[in-house]
């Protein structure tokens, strides 16, 4: 293997990892495909500020100029937020983007890959991908789930995006041996909603417990990561039944326009934002900030072990 030829880790992050200091990985698809400019630009700086405020170091990832970038400069963050040609890169796309010099935003799966390459064990995102509704006929299943099964990174998220089939997503994770831990919850959250009606594998009371469980699994040589489900703060939660109605409308629109594959989630999120008159975007921001805060706390506890 010759990973070093493609890996570009910011000096601050490389030094922190080497010294065992707390580092939190961040994706860039949420910037390029998850929200509009300038909200994404403001978000990119705010989420890094939150992680630093907790005492950890943020490591936003992307593919730029034939390099796997871990830690972006302000100008690189702006590129990810403003350039409409930035692609959405999952595991299958990485070699293509590196070899051709194209600019790509990292999904959950790709961010996990890059984090593991750089020695980062904790990653904060909005919500994981999963099994799409109707997957029994479309076979539309996010690469995030396979990545969680094989890559040793803990993903702090507000559960799975509510537009997915959450029951099938959890069943898939169970089959692949991925632990699903709930931060102060027994109910798996559904992105905008604190409850989905489905249970987590174990409810944990604090960041220190999460860190101990992570260390124990990896000490045993067990491969794969974790889903650490962190519910959206109550004051920003949206009504479950109302969101189901909105998601149904968005899914119908996607079917009418023949949207499929990796274009599905950005299309649905944009329609959900429009149907909720922007309220869903505000909730999306707050749940992502909350996940960043929690991930930083876990990273700090993990660095002590």
Which active-site residues does the annotation give? 27, 161
Distance of CA 118 to the CA centre of its chain: 17
The H-or-E segment that residue 47 falls in is helix 39-54
3-class SS at 235?
helix
Distances from the Cα of 33 to the Cα of 11, 56, 118, 181, angstroms: 27, 26, 24, 27
3-class SS at 105?
strand
3-class SS at 285?
helix
CB-based contact 57:12 (threshold 8 Å): yes
Angle of helix 166-175 relative to helix 143-150, nearest 10 degrees?
30
Backbone angles phi, psi at 107, to 5 degrees: -80, -175
Q: Which long-range contacts (CB under 8 A, 24 or more apart) does 136-144 make?
A: 138/260, 140/260, 140/261, 140/264, 141/172, 142/108, 142/109, 143/90, 143/91, 143/92, 143/107, 143/109, 144/107, 144/108, 144/109, 144/112
CA nearest 270: which of 262, 278, 261? Answer: 278
Distances from the Cα of 205 to the Cα of 49, 174, 216, 292, 299, angstroms: 25, 22, 17, 17, 16
CB-based contact 7:68 (threshold 8 Å): yes
The H-or-E segment that residue 183 falls in is strand 180-183
């Amino acid at each position: 293997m010759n990973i070093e030829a493609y890996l570009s880790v910011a000096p601050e992050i490389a030094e922190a990892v080497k010294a065992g200091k707390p580092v939190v990985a961040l994706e860039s698809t949420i910037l390029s495909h998850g929200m509009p400019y300038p909200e994404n630009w403001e978000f990119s700086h705010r989420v890094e500020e939150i992680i630093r405020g907790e005492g950890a170091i943020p490591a936003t990832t992307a593919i730029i100029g034939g390099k796997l970038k871990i830690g972006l400069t302000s100008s690189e963050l702006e590129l990810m937020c403003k350039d409409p040609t930035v692609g959405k890169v999952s595991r299958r796309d990485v070699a293509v983007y590196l070899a051709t010099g194209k600019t790509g935003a990292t999904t959950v799966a790709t961010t996990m890959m890059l984090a593991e390459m750089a020695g980062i064990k904790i990653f904060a995102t909005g919500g994981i991908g999963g099994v799409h509704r109707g997957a029994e006929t479309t076979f539309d299943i996010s690469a995030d789930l396979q990545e969680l099964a094989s890559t040793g990174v803990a993903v702090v998220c507000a559960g799975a995006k509510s537009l997915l089939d959450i029951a099938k997503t959890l069943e898939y994770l169970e089959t692949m041996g991925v632990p699903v831990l709930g931060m102060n919850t027994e109910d798996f959250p559904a992105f905008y909603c604190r409850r989905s009606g489905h249970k987590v594998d174990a409810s944990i009371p604090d960041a220190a417990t999460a860190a101990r469980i992570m260390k124990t699994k990896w000490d045993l040589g067990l491969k794969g990561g974790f889903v650490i489900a962190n519910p959206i703060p109550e004051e920003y939660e949206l009504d479950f039944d109302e969101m189901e109605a909105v998601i149904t409308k968005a899914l119908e629109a996607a079917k009418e326009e023949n949207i499929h594959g990796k274009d599905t989630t950005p299309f649905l999120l944009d329609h959900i934002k429009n149907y909720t008159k922007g309220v869903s975007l505000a909730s999306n921001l707050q749940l992502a900030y909350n996940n960043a805060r929690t991930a930083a706390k876990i990273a700090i506890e993990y660095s002590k072990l």
